[in-house]
């Protein structure tokens, strides 16, 4: 081999080595993307305080996920700002599949219309699957002296009445604002950090009314300590057969559903998102899990990633129209 031939051969070897080195990071990323289920504990972040509907559903689902994937799935409550604190936190987390968010209608589709957020729900968070949905139930304390929706509206037109929510921009907040619009009243919004503290003040008669989640309200309704006036679904849910809907109480077409769904940090690789979608859908379709959720007044909503992305966009457009009509801003 001549000196010139040796130089050419060495140059070819150097190029091959450089090419292989350049491929290594990409191969490592691909290997990481395929690493599902995760090989270490998973955190499921919830944006509300323990004791409410979101927390109850998340813990029930997390338990079954943990059993199925063979890793702990730990619920982490990061309450505050109507759930926005949790959503902002997850938007900046690692993308290896070890952090998920039990996202909610408020921060994902309502809050962007009311305030400037440090994250974009459609860019910084990635849809994984629907979770659960349920209507709100308008409940009042016994001391208010009303027994049906008509009496409540009449009272609200005579005097100032307040209503609790799980935070500015939450589903319970927008349900109240939609009711203000439809009923021609001007109830005062009082935001809380979650369903449990809102319910505590309602039971203590420090707040007049609350568009509550059925799991938190119904035990007190059944005990006779709270009075239910109407649900915010178009039809009576099977688990609330004796409570009229807003639609049948004089407000046709009134619908304000609350929902929680699974999202991940925005740059999470598609194979990991697909893996989590399969596992979450499997859990939501599990008969025992579905029955337990239904007993809590929650309807499972398993979807594909694309189906949930389309649903989220539809909700964003719908609540944006209400926010503009009511001229709502963050409080």
- The DSSP secondary structure of 101-117, one letter per residue, reads EEEEHIIIIIHHHHS--
pTM of the model: 0.77
Can you tell me the distance from the alpha carbon of 114 to that of 82, in angstroms, rounded to the nearest whole number? 12
- Give me the phi and psi of 110, to 5 degrees please: -110, -50
Are the C-beta atoms of residues 265 and 94 closer than 8 Å to each other?
A: yes
Domain 137-249: which CATH number of 3.40.50.2300, 3.30.420.40, 3.40.50.1010, 3.40.190.10 = 3.40.190.10
Pick the closest to residue 257 from 133, 103, 168, 104 (CA basis).
Answer: 133
Can you tell me the distance from the alpha carbon of 111 to that of 324, in angstroms, rounded to the nearest whole number? 12
Write the DSSP symbol of residue 269. -
pLDDT of 18 reads: 47
Can you tell me the distance from the alpha carbon of 229 to that of 152, in angstroms, rounded to the nearest whole number? 8
- Both ends of the chain: CA-CA distance in Å? 81
Same fold, 42-134+257-326 and 137-249: yes
The dihedral sign for the CA sequence 116, 255, 314, 322: negative
Beta pairing, strands 162-165 & 209-212: parallel
Residues of the chain with pLDDT below 70 are 1-34, 331
Can you tell me the distance from the alpha carbon of 127 to that of 130, in angstroms, rounded to the nearest whole number? 8
Can you tell me the distance from the alpha carbon of 48 to that of 63, in angstroms, rounded to the nearest whole number? 18
Boundaries of every domain in the chain: 42-134+257-326, 137-249
- Report whether the peptide linkage leading into residue 154 is cis, meaning its omega lies within 30 degrees of zero: no
Can you tell me the distance from the alpha carbon of 121 to that of 113, in angstroms, rounded to the nearest whole number? 12
Cβ neighbours for 41, distance < 8 A, ≥ 6 positions apart = 71, 72, 73, 74, 98
For residue 131, give the 3-state DSSP assignment: strand
Name all contacts of 246-249 with Cβ < 8 Å and 24+ positions apart. Answer: 246/138, 246/149, 246/179, 246/182, 249/148, 249/149, 249/150
Can you tell me the distance from the alpha carbon of 175 to that of 210, in angstroms, rounded to the nearest whole number? 10
The dihedral sign for the CA sequence 263, 266, 269, 270: positive
Q: In what order do the strands lie in the sheet with 209-212?
A: 188-191, 162-165, 209-212, 137-141, 226-231
Most distant CA atoms of the chain, gap in Å: 104
Are the C-beta atoms of residues 278 and 128 closer than 8 Å to each other?
A: no
pLDDT of 21 reads: 47
Fold of 42-134+257-326: D-Maltodextrin-Binding Protein; domain 2 (3.40.190)
- Give me the phi and psi of 252, to 5 degrees please: -55, 140
């Amino acid at each position: 081999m001549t000196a010139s031939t040796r130089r050419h051969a060495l140059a070819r070897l150097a190029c091959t080595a450089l090419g292989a080195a350049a491929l290594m990071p990409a191969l490592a990323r691909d290997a990481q993307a395929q690493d599902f289920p995760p090989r270490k504990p998973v955190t499921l972040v919830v944006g509300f305080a323990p004791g409410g509907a979101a927390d109850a559903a998340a813990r029930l689902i997390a338990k079954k996920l943990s059993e199925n994937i063979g890793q702990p799935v730990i619920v982490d409550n990061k309450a505050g700002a109507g759930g926005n604190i949790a959503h902002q936190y997850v938007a900046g987390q690692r993308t290896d599949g070890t952090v998920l968010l039990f996202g909610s209608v408020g921060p994902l589709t309502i809050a962007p219309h009311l305030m400037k957020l440090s994250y974009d729900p459609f860019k910084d968070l990635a849809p994984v699957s629907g979770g659960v949905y349920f209507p709100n139930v308008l409940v009042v304390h016994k001391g208010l002296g009303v027994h049906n929706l008509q009496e409540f509206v009449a009272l609200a037109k005579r005097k100032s009445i307040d209503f609790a929510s799980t935070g500015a921009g939450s589903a319970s907040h927008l349900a109240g604002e939609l009711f203000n619009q439809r009923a021609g009243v001007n109830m005062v919004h009082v935001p809380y950090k979650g369903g449990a503290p809102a319910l505590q003040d309602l039971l203590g008669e420090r707040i007049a009314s609350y568009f509550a989640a059925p799991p938190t309200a119904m035990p007190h309704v059944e005990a006779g300590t709270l009075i239910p006036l109407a649900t915010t679904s178009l039809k009576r849910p099977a688990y609330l057969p004796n409570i009229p809907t807003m639609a049948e109480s004089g407000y046709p077409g009134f619908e304000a559903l609350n929902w929680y769904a699974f999202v991940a940090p925005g740059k999470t690789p598609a194979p990991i998102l697909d893996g989590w979608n399969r596992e979450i859908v499997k859990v939501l379709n599990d008969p025992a899990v579905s029955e337990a959720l239904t007993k809590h007044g929650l309807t499972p909503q398993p979807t594909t990633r694309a189906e949930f992305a389309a649903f989220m966009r539809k909700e964003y457009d719908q609540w944006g129209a209400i926010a503009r009509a009511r001229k709502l801003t963050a409080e």
